[in-house]
Structures are given as structure tokens and as C-alpha cells.
Amino acid sequence: MIPLFSATGLPLGPSGDLNTIISLLMYLSFILFMFFGQKIQVRLMLLEVDGAVKRLEYMRNDAKLLALKTVKEVGKPKEDPTPELNMMLEQFLISPEGMDPAGLVWKLDHILNVRDMKFKDDVKKIAPEADESQVNNLENLIEASQAMNTIYRIVRHFYLLGKKTSSFYIILQIQMILPLVMQEAEALIGAARAFSQGQPIGDGAGALVAAKLMRGKEKRKLDRDIVAAETMIEGRRVIPLKAEGPGGNVGKPGDAMKRIIEESNGKIAMVIMVDAALKLEGDKTGDLSEGIGAAIGGPGTERFKIEEEAVRHKIPVYAIIVKESIMEAIAPMKKEISEAAELVLARIRKLILDRTKEGDIVVVAGIGNTVGIGQ
Amino acid sequence: MQTRPPSNIYLYLMIVFSIAVLGYSVWMLYTGLLSMKEGNMENFYYTAFISLVGIMLALSSLTQIRRRVSILPRLGARVLTVALCDKCNFKVMRNFAAGDYVFKEAGKCQQCNETMYISQIYQEEPKKKQD
């Protein structure tokens, strides 16, 4: 009989019989792992992905409920907006065919314009009492919920497909990127909360800088939700522009820039673009970097328009970026990012002094989502 | 639609189990050392091996739980509104309220009665090491 306790009082102490059993168990586990190692690994990975799918489902529902609650509170719809909201969460966009790339940008721009207009109309329909700024915030909130819904569905797709096929490589794909996916989902939940309350997000760093330049000056509205003003810095005429706040909005800075350049007959000495940009791990949030080129993200159509105009009129385009992570860009604005705006203004002043002369016209474009930032 | 947050019961059970394994492994290591003093080397090697495996498993499990718990405060971070007076630079800091936005007028200054404005809205830094 195997003694349950050894002389030291420990359960299963060393004895001849026990050594044999342990050796046998080791051989057995070795054989087991040799034949079923990958299956065991697949089961463990599926368990991990299953937990993530459940968490994502909760987060997706949380974002959806938040959107529904905000729509009801702000928009005061007469009918239940749930079916319309569900439809909006599943909306998609088909990119134009790229086999013949000529004119692709304008095709994409057109599709994006139609999509933006339809989405805004849909939001107005389910939130008839919301004002323009609230409609913009609701639009962004529903977009965040839409992104959460897409993430959940993609992870669930790979999970179920992996479960169905027991394919190690299908499950491995999703398991490997799971930490990044979960981080992004958490940031999206933060973004949904920020949009529901109209709090500034990290992406608004550029808009904040332009707003600081505009404060107290007369503003005028340009195309598609963009506002511009005029101010003087060291004898130079500076035209700051940004998306119209405080509702969540990015506007169409490309079109606005084209209009300003045309109004000045192309006599712009310099364009400075300020935007939030992705930092690399190890970089400090809120640090600045200076460069050349159009600092603007998104699908690329606005960058194309700015580059086209800059080349046509030979206008140098400078970029100042505020470093932040993807999570910080869509979460409520951090103190470091908010404080970086003053440092950006100092850089703009230095650039203007170094690269232009008195009487020149300079355009400062504050790029990014202007939620929670007025002007 | 699932509205309840995912239960944390497994997390708590895991913590209790890991601590129990850690405690038992440390005790086992201690008794192993006692048997080494008594000259029972066979028992010492056996218990040292088993207890070290137990300690490593428990520590690895606790580290993973810590990583999971550390993301929770980020979700509940506070957002602050800073109102500033242009004239006397008097600053008022308060919790963000719905309707606040940067450059919105924020009432009269308590010191000079000038109109204040919201100069900053930002998320409070959680009290932990930077990522």
C-alpha cells in the first residue's frame, strides 16, 4: 500500500512504490503530450479566446446600451430607436475598385461624403431633438459602438471557426493578437464614454492648438464643418483652421485648405499642420516632433487634396505632431497632451519666425476630432 | 442582450487557489530543509523539487492576475475641468460636468469678478507607474 503521509508528515512522500508511480506518470504524460500536445494547446488557447469573446460581448453591449441611453436622453425620439440603431451598427462601406487607379481618390471621397451625409441623417432621425453639436457627438458615439461591434464579430468569427475546424493556426492567429485587440476594445469603450459626455479626446490635440490661436478672434465657417479665423504673429497674417466644435467632428480640412489657398491666389508662404500621431513604445506621451508633409490621417483623401494644392502653388507644408498611443488618441485627453498645446504654439511661432518674413500669410491647420473643444 | 459584467468569481477563486499553493509549497520547502538537517537527503530532493515547481506555478499565476487587475483603474479614471481667469490667473479645478467644453465661459472669477473660461479638460493620471 502506498503510504499517504511520509515520515516528515508530507502527503505522498518518497518511497519505492511512489517512485514507480511518479516515473510511470512521467512516461504517460510524455506519451500524452507527444500525441495530443497540439490538441491540448488548442483547447487551452480556445479557453483563453472564449474568455476574451465573453468580455468583448459585454463591452459591445455596454457601448450599445450607452449609445441607446444617450440617444434617448439627448434626442428624445418618439419611437424606440433600437431597430434603427441596430441597423446603423451593421452599416458598411465598399471601397471603390482599384484596378484603374486614375480618379480613385475622388471616387473614395464621394463614397465617404455620401456615407457621412447618410449617417448624419440617420442620427438626426433617431435623435430629432439633438442640436448640431450633439448630433456630431452621437455620430461619433455610434461609430465607436460600431467599431466595438466589428471587433467582437471578427474575434467571435475566428473563435467559432477555430472551434469548428480545430485548426491550430486559425486559433493561433487570433490568440496572438488578442492582447492588442483587447487594448483597443478598452480604448473604444473609453472613447464611447467620452463622446457620450462630450469630453475632449487625445486625437483633438491639433484642434486644441488651432482653437487657442482662434480664441477671441472673429471666426468664419468654411466648407464641411471647418472654421477659420485670422490672427497676427510677429507681423505675419496667420489663418488657423479646425473642425467646428465642440461637437465630435473632424471636418474636411483638405477642401477648406483649397478654398483658403484660392482666396489668397496661392500666395501662402507656409502651411503648418498640427496633429496627434502614434508614438512608438518607449516614447513619451505629449512629446513633440517636427517634420515635413501633410500631417493628417484618415482614408487619405484629405491628405491628397492638401498635397495637390501645395504642389500646384509650391507651398511648403510643415508638420508638428503630438505623440500619443492609439489608446490615448481615442480615450479622454491626458494632461500631458493638453499641456503640449502650449509647446506646439511656441514651435509654430519659431517656425514662422525662421521660415517666413513680415507680411506673409501662414495657414495653421489643427487636425483631429474636436469633441469637447470650442473655438 | 447580456447586461451584467462578466463575473469575477473565477478571478477570486484563482487568487485564493494560487495563494494556497504558494503557502503549501513554502511550507513543504521548509519541511524539506528540516529533513536535510536530519540527513534525509532523499526526502529533501523530493520536497525541494515539488515545492519549487509549486512556488513557480503560484507566482506565475499571481503575476498574470496582477496584470489583469492593473487595467481596471484605467477604466474608472476621473476627468477634470480647469477654469481659468484671464485677468488674475485664478484657477478652479472640478470634476467634468456634462456640457463642459474647452473655451466655454465658466462663470465669474471669485477673486476679480472677471468672466472665467474653461482652459483645459483632461483625464486625471491614475496613481500608478507609467506604461
pLDDT greater than 90 at residue A270: yes
pLDDT greater than 60 at residue A3: no
Give residue B130's pLDDT.
46
Give residue B48's pLDDT.
85
Give the nearest partner residue to B42 out of A14, A211, A339, using CB atoms: A14
Per-position DSSP letters for A107-150, written without gaps between them: HHHHHHHHHHHHHHHHHHHH-TT--HHHHHHHHHHHHHHHHHHH
**Residues of B in Cβ contact (< 8 Å) with A208:** 102
Tell me if B119 sits within 8 A of A215, measured CB to CB: no
Give residue B63's pLDDT.
84
B101·A333 Cβ contact <8 A: no
Give residue A8's pLDDT.
46
At residue A60, the 3 state secondary structure works out as: helix
Sign of CA dihedral A142, A144, A145, A147: positive
User: For residues A12 and B125, which has the higher predicted lDDT (pLDDT)?
Assistant: B125
Residues of chain A that touch chain B, judged by Cβ-Cβ distance less than 8 Å? 6-10, 13-14, 51, 54-55, 57-58, 61, 64-65, 186, 189-190, 194, 197-200, 208, 211, 215, 245-246, 325, 331-335, 337-339, 372-375
Tell me if A155 sits within 8 A of A214, measured CB to CB: no
Angle at B26 between CA B20 and CA B30, to 5 degrees: 145
Chosen from A338, A339, A369, A371 to mutate, greatest number of chain B CBs within 10 A: A338
Give residue B126's pLDDT.
63
**Whole-number Å distance between alpha carbons of A248 and A351:** 29
Per-position DSSP letters for A285-342, written without gaps between them: TT-EEEEES----TTSHHHHHHHHHHHHTT--EEEEEEEE-HHHHHSBPBHHHHHHHH
CA atoms within a 13 Å half-sphere pointing along the CA-CB vector of A36: 7
Task: Give A363's strand partners.
Answer: A239, A271
A186·B71 Cβ contact <8 A: yes
pLDDT greater than 50 at residue A257: yes
Give residue A118's pLDDT.
94
Per-position DSSP letters for A342-360, written without gaps between them: HHHHHHHHHHHHHH--TT-
Mean pLDDT for the stretch of residues A8-22? 58
pLDDT greater than 90 at residue B102: yes
B98·A198 Cβ contact <8 A: yes
**Residues of B in Cβ contact (< 8 Å) with A331:** 123
Residues of chain B that touch chain A, judged by Cβ-Cβ distance less than 8 Å? 1-6, 28, 31-32, 34-35, 40, 42-43, 46-47, 71, 74-75, 77, 79, 96, 98-104, 120-125, 131
At residue A268, the 3 state secondary structure works out as: coil
Chosen from B24, B103, B127, B129 to mutate, greatest number of chain A CBs within 10 A: B103
**Residues of B in Cβ contact (< 8 Å) with A373:** 101-103
**Whole-number Å distance between alpha carbons of B16 and A252:** 55
Model pLDDT for residues A18-68, shown as the tens digit of each residue: 667 777 887 888 888 888 888 888 888 898 899 899 999 999 999 999 999
**Residues of B in Cβ contact (< 8 Å) with A55:** 6
**Whole-number Å distance between alpha carbons of A187 and A255:** 30
Question: If phi over 0 gives left and psi between -120 and 50 gives alpha, with beta otherwise, what is residue B124?
Answer: beta
Give residue A120's pLDDT.
93
**Whole-number Å distance between alpha carbons of A43 and A49:** 10
The CA distance from A300 to the nearest CA of chain B, in Å, is: 28
Count CB pairs under 8 A between chains A and B: 101
Tell me if A47 sits within 8 A of A99, measured CB to CB: no
Tell me if A252 sits within 8 A of A302, measured CB to CB: yes
Q: Which residue has the cell 452599416?
A: A91
Sign of CA dihedral A323, A325, A328, A329: positive
Q: Quick one: which of A47, A45, A329, A106 has its CA closest to A200?
A: A329
Q: Quick one: which of A234, A238, A292, A276 has its CA closest to A260?
A: A238
**Whole-number Å distance between alpha carbons of A118 and A84:** 13
Q: Could you give the residue ranges of the DSSP H alpha helices within A166-214?
A: 168-197, 205-214
pLDDT greater than 60 at residue A356: yes
The CA distance from A97 to the nearest CA of chain B, in Å, is: 37
C-alpha cell at A282: 518607449
**Residues of A in Cβ contact (< 8 Å) with B1:** 61, 64-65
Q: Which of A61-75, A225-239, A297-311, B53-67 has the lowest mean pLDDT?
A: B53-67
Backbone Cα Rg of chain A: 28
pLDDT bin (cut points 50, 70, 90) of residue B6 is low
Helix, strand and coil in chain A, % to nearest 5: 60, 15, 30
Q: Which residue has the cell 485564493?
A: B16
**What share of chain A has pLDDT > 70, as a percent?**
95
A199·B79 Cβ contact <8 A: yes
pLDDT bin (cut points 50, 70, 90) of residue B74 is low
- Give me the amino acid identity at A163: K
pTM score of the predicted model: 0.81
A332·B100 Cβ contact <8 A: no
Mean pLDDT for the stretch of residues A283-292? 95
**Whole-number Å distance between alpha carbons of A232 and A237:** 5
Sketch out chain A's domains with CATH numbers: 45-197 (no CATH), 202-366 (3.40.50.1470)
Model pLDDT for residues A61-116, shown as the tens digit of each residue: 999 999 999 999 999 999 899 999 999 999 999 999 989 899 999 999 999 999 99
Please give the DSSP secondary-structure letter assigned to residue B126.
P
At residue A273, the 3 state secondary structure works out as: strand
The whole-chain average pLDDT of chain A stands at: 90
- Sort A346 into a burial class: Cβ within 10 Å, 0-12 / 13-18 / 19+: exposed
CA distances from A292 to A183, A241, A273, A277, B16 (A): 31, 19, 9, 14, 56
The CA distance from A95 to the nearest CA of chain B, in Å, is: 32
Give residue B45's pLDDT.
84
C-alpha cell at B55: 512556488
Give the nearest partner residue to B101 out of A215, A246, A325, using CB atoms: A246
Peptide bond into A316 cis (omega under 30): no
Angle at B74 between CA B1 and CA A322, to 5 degrees: 115
B101·A10 Cβ contact <8 A: no
